[in-house]
Structure 1
Amino acid sequence: MIKFFRKIRQKLLSENKFSKYLIYAIGEIVLVVIGILIALQINNWNEENKKKALMITNIKSIAEDILADIYDIQEVNMSLDKQVVAANYVIPILESENRFIADSLKFIMAFNSFTTTPIISESSNTWNFLNSSGTVSEFPDSKLLKLLQDYYKNFNDITTNFTNSGNPVRLELRKLKYELFSDTEHRKFFPTKSPKAPSFEVYNSIFEDNRILPLCRFIGSTAYYFEGEFTSVKSEAEIILDYINKKYK
């Protein structure tokens, strides 16, 4: 092709047709410019496709992170639900005048569940990377972006609140439990796969310590509150997963 154009130029020059040569030269320049523009457009198109493919990969990675969050929330809510049930059983006995315990093993196991400290941490590596790298500004889906922003904000607020206000009291009761019970009596019901009711002195120490009832009340109320909060954010997570699965199969 280059030889073909060279022959045309040489022929026009040899025939002293300068005006035609000039027109031809301009046309050749235009063709070269068009070729460069087409090449740039193709390159831009390829780069754009790479960016879209990478963003879809990131969106799918976010979906995996959120799925992990859902599993964590389910585990936490199982612990919180046990504490709600335990509160409904233990607190009325602690508040009663005769403090009658029909099932001593059930009582001590329910009481012990108050000391469980559910730990949850959001799986947000991909989302954090998009924000820290500034890539989130190029997010192609405004609806999904809003869903993610709300979800991660709410999840962070709830987990922070629970860590700061919910777990410290549970840890306080756990510490108090080791203060009140002897190690021998404590090992009868925790940790063991075959729990047994401890001695009468253990139940007396629970009833006689004025710190126990307020702590149990607080743990029961926070378990009920945060179970609802985590259920709410879990619903947000499920909405996001459903949206991603439908739009980014």
Structure 2
Amino acid sequence: MIKLFRNIRQNLLAQGKTTRYFKYAIGEIILVVIGILIALQINNWNEERKEKIVEKNFFENVRIDLEKDEEKLKYYHKFYTKRIEYLDTLLTYVRNPNITMGIEKFGMYVEPLFYASDPTNNNTTFESAKTSGTFNNFKEKELLKELSQYYADFTLIDKAFSSVVRFIENQFEPLMYTLPENYMTAQTGILVVNEGDVQDFYKKIASIKDYRNIKADYEGLLRTPIMENYLIGDMGRSFGALGIITVRQDLLEQLKVKIEQYD
């Protein structure tokens, strides 16, 4: 093609058609410019298409992370809902001296209180894209902003859960260790809400015979003000954690809807 244009220019010059030569040369320049512009536009389209694919893959992976979060939040919600139920039951017995639990029921209701839940933040996709600077070319800036806030708010869950853990370690465990733990049977852990299977642990403890004939004064422990104070303090922290979990569940659902709309 270039050789053809050169031959045409040479023929025009040889024929002394200078004016036509200049017109042709200008037309040739215009054609080249148009060709360059078309090439640039095609390149831009290709780049935008690649960026769109990267952005779509990002939101798809974020959606998968959010689904993992959703399952964890369901577990956390169940954990603290049940914890509040157990605390409520124990507080009812503490405040009513006319009723007794029985040692087995006492064990079943206090044992779940030894357990806590560890918060998990499934933010690998988001943090990886953020670190690599991939966000710079994304179009959905508002959705990115909402995702950023969602992941930043994880600290609220972390703090709420940590507060419960510290309360268990500093208040509940020292209180319960005033009793011998020979109240534990194979059924003691039946109300425990935990991600792992803990029943083998209770079966093992129950299989070790206790020949000391020591009785645990659980009734005396239930009537102490310190037990009432603990139950109320734990309940308050558990309600706080449950509230934060519920808010996060609502935000997650909103994000999932927006990501589906983006697709």
Q: TM-score, structure 1 length as denominator?
A: 0.84
Conserved? CA contact 1:82–1:113, under 8 Å? no
- In 1, Cα distance between equivalents of 2:105 and 2:12: 106
Q: Distance in 2 between matches of 1:41 and 1:239?
A: 37
Report the Cα distance in structure 1 between the residues aligned to 2:109 and 2:79, rounded to whole angstroms.
11
- Give distance in 1, aligned partners of 2:181 and 2:87: 24
Which residue of structure 1 aligns with residue 159 of structure 2? 161
Residue matched to 1:238: 253
Structure having the larger proportion of residues in helix: 1
- Residue correspondences, number: 245
Structure 1 distance, partners of 2:203, 2:242, is: 27
Distance 1:193 1:187, change over 3 A: closer
| 1:104-152 deviation line (CA, Å, top 9, x unaligned) | 3232111111121111121111222333334334432244234323422
Match of 2:243 among 208, 221, 228: 228
Question: Which residue pairs with 1:94 in the alignment?
Answer: 94
Call closer, same or farther: CA 1:211–1:170 in 2, change over 3 Å.
Answer: same
State the partner residue of 2:127. 128
- Would you say the 8 A contact 1:114–1:216 is kept in 2? no
In the alignment, which residue of structure 2 is the partner of 1:39? Answer: 39
Q: Does structure 2 retain, via aligned residues, the 8 Å contact 1:79–1:116?
A: no
Q: 1:14-64: CA deviations, max 9, x gaps?
A: 112222222222221221122112111111110111111101111111111
Matches within 5 A, 1:20-31: 20-31=20-31
Task: Answer with 104-113 or 48-57: which moved more.
Answer: 104-113
Q: Shift in Å at residue 6 of structure 1?
A: 2.6
Letter in 1 for 2:92: P
The within-5 A match list for 1:151-190 is 151-154=150-153, 156-173=154-171, 175-176=173-174, 179-182=177-180, 185-186=183-184, 189=188
- Secondary structure of the residue aligned to 2:170 is helix
CA contact (8 A) 2:62 2:125 kept: yes
Match of 1:203 among 218, 221, 225: 218
Where in structure 2 are there 5+ consecutive unaligned residues? 190-200
Matched-pair contact (CA < 8 Å) for 1:181–1:202:
yes
How far is 1:181 from its partner? Answer: 4.2
Across the aligned residues of Structure 1 and Structure 2, the Cα RMSD in angstroms comes to 2.8
Task: Please name the residue that 2:11 is paired with.
Answer: 11
Find the residue that maps to 1:180 and give its secondary structure: coil
1:217 corresponds to: 232
Unaligned stretches of 5+ in structure 1? none
Question: Are the equivalent residues in 2 in contact too, given 1:84–1:220 (CA < 8 A)?
Answer: yes
Distance (whole Å) between structure 1 residues aligned to residue 106 and residue 23 of structure 2: 100
SS of the residue aligned with 2:177? Answer: helix
Distance, in Å, in 2 between the alignment partners of 1:141 and 1:24 is 47
1:51-101 Cα shifts (integer Å, max 9, x gaps): 111011111111111111111111111111111110110012223445x42
Which deviates the most, 128-137 or 198-207?
198-207
| Secondary structure class of the residue paired with 1:227 | helix
The percentage of aligned residue pairs carrying the same residue is 26
Report the equivalent of 2:49: 49
